[in-house]
């Protein structure tokens, strides 16, 4: 694994090795420049530069869900960020590494898994002109039209380890400074449909909580399921704050669907699963959610009531750096956090930090006094130019709209045997697809 940052640097350096000379201006045109070193005309960059003084740290932000019912998801990604910083020196030894000779400081904000949280947290981070990049958000609802726009308007790269809504990376809705290491839910929905076809389901109902994440998954799955010859008996929506689903489930149960798919977040995911088991007409219905349910909270708080419920998410056993992940990464994670990962997107956050480090080192100009100047647009372009980066999650190559996950393996797990809660958990179904295959 020590080679992955070098490979990422080689992947982007060809396009950006001449940034310093291309941006140089002997008169400096009023721009910022490192004392005694190569000048960078920061006025030539629409968004200017971040200049880090000698001995000062590079600041990055995180905008992740660190409170409420989705806290497991954000805490998990923040741990991945910390481990990514630890690994900047090529070892997971509990000691932080550096980027271009500078320490790294992390400023954390809470996305609340909501548009309001994305607005508030994103506004705070964008106001700090020393922040180079933000890792986030956890939830698509915090990013889509909110944090992705705030950060792009400020010229700050936003890279998400867990946003999966397709609209975030589609022409017409993609914001120019937004990327993700998480997969696009067109992949996950297609794989869930393949699992449903393998299981022989002919009828299905869906419930989404009106978040961009859940809505897209339910709709794309429904479309795929019907194209494969199945019937969607009903497609329902709820509010994420709802707690009593008995009436809604009773209506769904009248059609006795063979599958009920509810790609929602906790606590709704857990409550739907428990209440569905007590609903007439759903006694023989298979219950399935997606990665919003694939958490420690779902299993531990749901208990016996959620046993046998399925949930899809990243197949951690498929990681190309499997030995590194199991022998080095997971022990370091447990040393840091004191427990196994409670959610599935820590490795995507870890890979995001590796990409960030490589991109900064490919475009930053170091002054003779040890200062570092990072042109914002050149840094963004270097991030998008990432190609062939061998991360923990696989080979990462970013397209023009910020989808960076390459060949993606999604597994379908059966509670309580989720990766969060069972050693060496294996999915009951696993499949690999690329975005090109499902678009």
pLDDT of residue 4: 53
* Per-residue confidence band for 54, with pLDDT thresholds at 50, 70 and 90: very high
Q: Which domains does the chain have, with CATH numbers?
A: 4-183+318-407 (3.40.50.2300), 186-316+410-438 (3.40.50.2300)
pLDDT of residue 221: 98
pLDDT of residue 34: 35
Candidate from 153-157, 328-332, 352-356, 406-410 with smallest mean pLDDT: 406-410
Mean pLDDT across 216-227: 97
Cα–Cα distance, 367 to 275 (Å, whole number)? 63
Tell me which of 241 and 400 has the higher pLDDT. Answer: 400
Q: Write a three-state SS string for the chain.
A: CCCHHHHHHHHHHHHHCCHHHHHCCCCHHHCCCCCCCCCCCHHHCCCCEEEECCCCCEEEEEEECCCHHHHHHHHHHHHHHHHHHHHHHCCCCCCCCCECCECEEEEEEECCCCHHHHHHHHHHHHCCCCEEEEEECCCHHHHHHHHHHHHHHHCCEEEECCCCCHHHHCCCCCCCCEEECCCCHHHHHHHHHHHHHHHCCCEEEEEECCCHHHHHHHHHHHHHHHHCCCEEEEEEECCCCCCCCHHHHHHHHCCCCCEEECCCCCCHHHHHHHHHCCCCCCCCCEEEECCCCCCHHHHHHHHHHHCCCEEEEECHHHCCCHHHHHHHHHHHHHHHHCCCCCCCCHHHHHHHHHHHHHHHHHHCEECCCCCEEEEHHHHHHHHHCCCCEEECCEEECCCCCCECECCEEEEEEECCCCCCCCCCCCCCEEEEECHHHHC
pLDDT of 192 above 60: yes
Mean pLDDT across 391-414: 96
* Per-residue confidence band for 287, with pLDDT thresholds at 50, 70 and 90: very high
Rounded mean pLDDT of the chain? 91
pLDDT of residue 138: 98
pLDDT of 27 above 70: no
Write out the two tokens for 233.
């008996």
Mean pLDDT across 308-330: 92
pLDDT of residue 33: 37
Cα–Cα distance, 107 to 109 (Å, whole number)? 7
Mean pLDDT across 315-328: 88
pLDDT of residue 1: 54
pLDDT of residue 423: 83
pLDDT of 19 above 60: no
pLDDT of residue 319: 86
Cα–Cα distance, 419 to 301 (Å, whole number)? 16
Candidate from 179-193, 263-277, 308-322, 369-383 with smallest mean pLDDT: 308-322
* Per-residue confidence band for 39, with pLDDT thresholds at 50, 70 and 90: low
pLDDT of 17 above 70: no
pLDDT of 8 above 80: no
pLDDT of residue 340: 93
Cα–Cα distance, 33 to 47 (Å, whole number)? 15
Residue with tokens 């839910």: 185
Burial pattern 274-286, b for ≥16 Cβ within 10 A else e, equals bbbbebebbeebb
pLDDT of 126 above 90: yes
Write out the two tokens for 408.
């993606």
pLDDT of residue 322: 83
Candidate from 8-22, 44-58, 208-222 with smallest mean pLDDT: 8-22
pLDDT of residue 311: 97
């Amino acid at each position: 694994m020590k080679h992955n940052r070098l490979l990422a640097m080689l992947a982007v350096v060809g396009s950006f090795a001449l940034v310093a000379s291309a941006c140089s201006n002997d008169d400096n045109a009023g721009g910022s420049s490192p004392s005694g070193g190569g000048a960078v005309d920061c006025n030539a960059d629409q968004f200017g530069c971040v200049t880090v003084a000698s001995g000062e740290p590079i600041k990055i932000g995180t905008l992740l869900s660190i409170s409420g019912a989705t806290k497991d998801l954000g805490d998990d990604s923040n741990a991945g960020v910390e481990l990514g910083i630890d690994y900047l020196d090529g070892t997971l030894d509990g000691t932080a590494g550096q980027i271009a000779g500078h320490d790294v400081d992390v400023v954390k904000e809470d996305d609340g898994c909501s548009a309001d949280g994305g607005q508030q947290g994103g506004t705070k981070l964008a106001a700090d002109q020393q922040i180079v990049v933000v890792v986030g958000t956890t939830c698509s609802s915090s990013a889509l039209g909110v944090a992705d726009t705030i950060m792009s308007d400020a010229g700050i790269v936003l890279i998400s380890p867990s946003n999966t809504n397709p609209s975030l990376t589609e022409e017409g809705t993609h914001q120019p400074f937004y990327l993700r290491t998480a997969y696009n839910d067109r992949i996950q929905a297609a794989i869930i449909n393949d699992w449903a076809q393998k299981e022989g389901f002919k009828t299905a109902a869906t419930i989404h909580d009106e978040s961009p994440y859940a809505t897209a998954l339910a709709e794309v799955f429904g479309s795929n399921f019907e194209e494969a010859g199945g019937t969607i008996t009903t497609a329902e929506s709820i509010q994420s704050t709802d707690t009593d689903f008995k009436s809604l489930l009773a209506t769904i149960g009248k059609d006795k669907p063979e599958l009920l798919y509810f790609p929602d977040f906790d606590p709704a995911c857990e409550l739907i699963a428990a209440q569905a088991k007590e609903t007439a007409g759903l006694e023989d219905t298979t219950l399935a959610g997606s990665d919003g349910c694939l958490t420690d909270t779902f299993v531990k708080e749901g208990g016996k009531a959620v046993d046998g419920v399925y949930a899809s998410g990243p197949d951690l056993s498929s990681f190309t750096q499997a030995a590194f992940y199991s022998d080095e990464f997971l022990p370091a994670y447990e040393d840091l956090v004191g427990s196994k990962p409670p959610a599935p997107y820590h490795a995507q956050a870890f890979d995001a930090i590796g990409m960030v480090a490589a991109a900064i080192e490919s475009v930053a100009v170091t002054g003779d006094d040890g200062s570092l100047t990072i042109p914002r647009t050149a840094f963004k372009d270097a991030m998008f130019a990432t190609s062939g980066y061998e991360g923990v999650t696989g080979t990462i190559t970013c397209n023009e709209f910020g989808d960076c996950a390459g060949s993606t393996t999604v597994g379908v797990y059966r509670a309580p045997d989720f990766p969060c809660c069972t050693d060496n958990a294996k999915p009951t179904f696993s499949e690999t697809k690329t975005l090109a295959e499902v678009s």
